[in-house]
């Protein structure tokens, strides 16, 4: 058992490393507090389509990680979700590009629920029948997102950005790709990625550490030897697949989504985190509500409250997505592209940068004030080689030169534009 303290945030993390290889990180919450959150995550997500495991290479259909996340809840004696509900516990799961998480929140029956979660992850139960039924359910989930303009445009935009990288697929895959998922695919994924050595359990909230130790000691067993799979990413050209698409649609407001394809830079896990953080800061400084450019766009009535910009750094695929709805969509596109590709040195001032850092520090405090977000981001940063509490040190190391460097990576020829115009 290792204890780490983060006095700046009044936080401590107690770490257990089990014989079976799983790590458990616990952040106890001072009383009075009712809830306990548990999240088990594996660093296996929608992008991990091509992999080598036990000397063999494998390719799975897009959407497999998400399909697996749905189907691991099937158990020989029924649906695991139901059991969580019967215990009065709220369970959930989510798949992102780079990880899959299973979580529950309890105020009672904590050990029954924890035992059930571990049993569920230790008991793959995939049948032809339950897989076929899940295809219908996930099919409706995909259609629900396709009916949402931001999600459907993002799907289309990613296909304009990427030739080969799995980033071009939606996390849930497509109706066609999920049709290829079967028992063999899911069992193989289970063996390759769900070994306890590949699992991280994060707990936050009310917890009796002595009782927990007794519980986990009874659960822990030596596990079979295991070597993590190697993920392969197809070679991706720097150029775009398609630069511009403009469609007439039966819609109420014009919409634009710009995708800026970035050429990934070299670096280890921490370097990548630092690069992503610097780019996120840069976009906030240039396009956020306290930027002069945002004010100008607003004054010219080019944007409304739908305007957003997000930075997305994945393994070998890095991009920025900007979304807006506007009555003057073509003028907005030109204004955005001209702005992002000019010399922005004067727009990135030291004063704004320092202020923005303060804001980011506040955002970390807001995050750890909410247990669910705290658990999720703790796991996410841990898989990325850090912790949410150490991100602030990284933030302090970032300089204005780092920000300027990130912005200089934006090139006009790598900006794709997808426009939906009112028919």
Partner 1 sequence: MHFIDNTFKTIQFSVFFTTLDHLDNRAYRNVLPSVLTKTNDSFKTKLSLNEHLEDLYGAYFRHKVEKYGNLSVIIMTLTIPHPKILKDETLFDQALDLFKKTIFERDSLSEDVFNDEKRNLVELYEGLKDRKRQYAQIKFFENFFEGDNDRIPLAGSLKDIKKMTFEGLNTYYQTVLNKDQMEIMVNGHLDDVMKSKVQKAFLNHDINTYNLNTSFRKPRALKTVREKIETKQAILMIGYILPIYIKDSLYEAALLFDAILGETPESRLFQKIREEKGLCYDVSSSYDGYKGILLIHSGVSLDQKDDALDAMIELVNDMKKLYVTEEELNSAKSYLSHVYKSNSDSQSTLTRRKFSSLILNDPSSIDDRIERILNVTIDDLKQVIDQLTLDTIYMLEEEND
Footprint (CB under 8 A) of partner 1, residues 35-94: 35, 79, 81-82, 84-91
- Among the listed residues 194, 24, 30, the one whose alpha carbon sits nearest the alpha carbon of residue 114: 24
Q: How far apart are CA 45 and CA 52, in angstroms?
A: 15
Burial class (CB in 10 A: 0-12, 13-18, 19+), 128: exposed
Q: Using CB under 8 A as the criterion, what x/- string covers residues 103-122 for binding partner 1?
A: --xxxxx-------------
Residue 341 C-beta: closest distance to partner 1, Å: 23
Site for partner 1 in 365-384 (CB under 8 A): 365-366, 368-371
Contact 324, 303 (CB under 8 A): yes
Rounded to the nearest whole angstrom, what is the least distance from the CB of residue 284 to partner 1 in the complex?
9
Could you tell me the smallest distance in angstroms from the CB atom of residue 352 to partner 1?
8
3-state secondary structure 79-114: EHHHHHHHCCCEEEEEECCCCEEEEEEECCCHHHHH
Residues 226-255 that bind partner 1 (CB under 8 A): 250-253, 255
Q: Which of 57, 182, 290, 349 binds partner 1 (CB under 8 A)?
A: 290
State how far the Cα of 136 lies from the Cα of 134, in Å rounded to an integer. 5
Of 58 and 135, which CB lies nearer to partner 1 in the complex structure?
135
Name the DSSP letter for residue 51.
E
Q: Which of 93, 78, 77, 87 is nearest to 110 (CA)?
A: 87
Give, as ranges, the residues between 181 and 220 that touch partner 1 (CB under 8 A).
Answer: 205
Q: 114 is written with which tokens?
A: 């924890």
Contact 84, 60 (CB under 8 A): no
Indicate which single residue of 17, 19, 52, 133 sits in contact with partner 1 (rule: CB under 8 A): 133
> What's the min distance (Å) between Cβ of 326 and partner 1?
8
Q: Hey, which residues between 314 and 333 contact partner 1 (CB under 8 A)?
A: 325, 327
Residue linked to tokens 């509490």: 389
Range in contact with partner 1 (rule: CB under 8 A) among 56-64, 133-141, 240-248, 262-270: 133-141
Binding residue count for partner 1, defined by CB under 8 A = 71
C-alpha span between 277 and 283 (Å, rounded): 10
Q: Binding partner 1 by CB under 8 A: which of 243, 292, 331, 334?
A: 292
Q: Name which of 77 and 222 has its Cβ closer to partner 1.
A: 77
Distance CA 259, CA 288 (A): 17
Q: Are 349 and 282 in contact (CB under 8 A)?
A: no
User: What are 111's strand-pairing partners?
Assistant: none
Q: Which is nearer to partner 1, 323 or 414 (CB)?
A: 323
CB atoms within 10 A of CB 90: 16
The residue within the footprint of partner 1, chosen from 3, 221, 235, 358 (CB under 8 A), is 358
Based on CB atoms, which residue is closest to partner 1, 79 or 265? 79
Cβ contact 102:39 at 8 Å = yes
Q: For the CB of residue 377, give the shortest distance to partner 1 in the complex, in Å.
A: 14
Token output for 294: 């945002």
Here's the x/- map for partner 1, 147-186, by CB under 8 A: it reads as xxx-------------------------------------
Q: Least distance from C-beta 89 to partner 1, angstroms?
A: 7
In angstroms, what is the minimal distance from the CB of 393 to partner 1? 16
Instruction: Return the structure tokens found at 339.
Output: 């702005």
- Only one of the segments 18-26, 155-163, 207-215, 352-360 lies at the binding site for partner 1 (rule: CB under 8 A); that segment is 352-360
| Interface region with partner 1, contact rule CB under 8 A, candidates 215-223, 311-319, 348-356, 398-406 | 348-356
At its nearest, how many Å lie between partner 1 and the CB of residue 355?
A: 5
Query: Order of strands across the sheet with 317-325?
Result: 244-249, 415-422, 255-262, 317-325, 308-314
Q: How far is the CB of 189 from partner 1 (least distance, A)?
A: 21
By beta-carbon proximity to partner 1, the closer residue of 191 and 367 is 367
Q: 């000397």: which residue's tokens?
A: 55
């Amino acid at each position: 058992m290792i204890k780490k303290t983060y006095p700046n945030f009044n936080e401590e993390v107690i770490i257990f490393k089990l014989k079976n290889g799983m790590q458990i990180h616990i952040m106890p919450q001072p009383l009075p507090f009712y809830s306990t959150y548990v999240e088990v995550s594996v660093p296996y997500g929608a992008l991990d389509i091509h992999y080598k495991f036990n000397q063999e290479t494998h390719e799975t259909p897009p959407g497999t990680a998400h399909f697996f996340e749905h189907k691991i809840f099937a158990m020989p004696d029924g649906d695991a979700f139901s059991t969580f509900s019967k215990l009065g516990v709220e369970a959930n799961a989510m798949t992102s590009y780079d990880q899959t998480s299973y979580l529950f929140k309890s105020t009672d029956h904590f050990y029954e629920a924890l035992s059930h979660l571990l049993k569920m992850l230790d008991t793959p139960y995939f049948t032809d029948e339950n897989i076929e039924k899940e295809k219908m359910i996930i099919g409706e989930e995909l259609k629900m997102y396709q009916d949402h303009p931001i999600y459907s445009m993002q799907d289309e935009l990613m296909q304009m950005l990427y030739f080969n990288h799995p980033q071009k697929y939606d996390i849930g895959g497509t109706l066609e790709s999920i049709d290829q998922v079967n028992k063999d695919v899911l069992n193989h994924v289970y063996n390759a990625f769900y070994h306890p050595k590949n699992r991280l359990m994060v707990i936050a909230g009310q917890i009796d550490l002595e009782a927990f130790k007794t519980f986990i000691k009874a659960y822990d067993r030596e596990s079979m030897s295991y070597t993590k799979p190697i993920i392969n990413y197809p070679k991706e050209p720097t150029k775009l697949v398609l630069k511009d698409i403009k469609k007439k649609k039966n819609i109420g407001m014009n919409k634009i989504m710009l995708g800026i394809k970035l050429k990934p830079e070299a670096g280890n896990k921490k370097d990548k985190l630092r690069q992503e953080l610097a780019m996120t800061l840069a976009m906030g400084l240039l396009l956020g509500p306290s930027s002069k450019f945002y004010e100008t766009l607003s004054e010219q009535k080019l944007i409304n409250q739908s305007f957003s910009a997000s930075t997305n750094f994945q393994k070998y695929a890095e991009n920025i997505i900007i979304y807006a709805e506007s009555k003057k969509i073509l003028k907005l596109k030109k204004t955005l592209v001209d702005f992002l590709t000019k010399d922005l040195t004067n727009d990135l001032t030291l004063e704004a940068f320092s202020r923005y850092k303060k804001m980011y520090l506040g955002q970390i405090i807001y995050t750890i004030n909410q247990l669910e977000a705290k658990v999720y981001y703790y796991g996410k940063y841990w898989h990325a080689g850090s912790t949410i509490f150490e991100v602030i040190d990284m933030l302090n190391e970032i300089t204005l030169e780092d920000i300027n460097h990130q912005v200089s990576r934006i090139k006009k020829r790598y900006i794709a534009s997808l426009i939906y115009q009112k028919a």
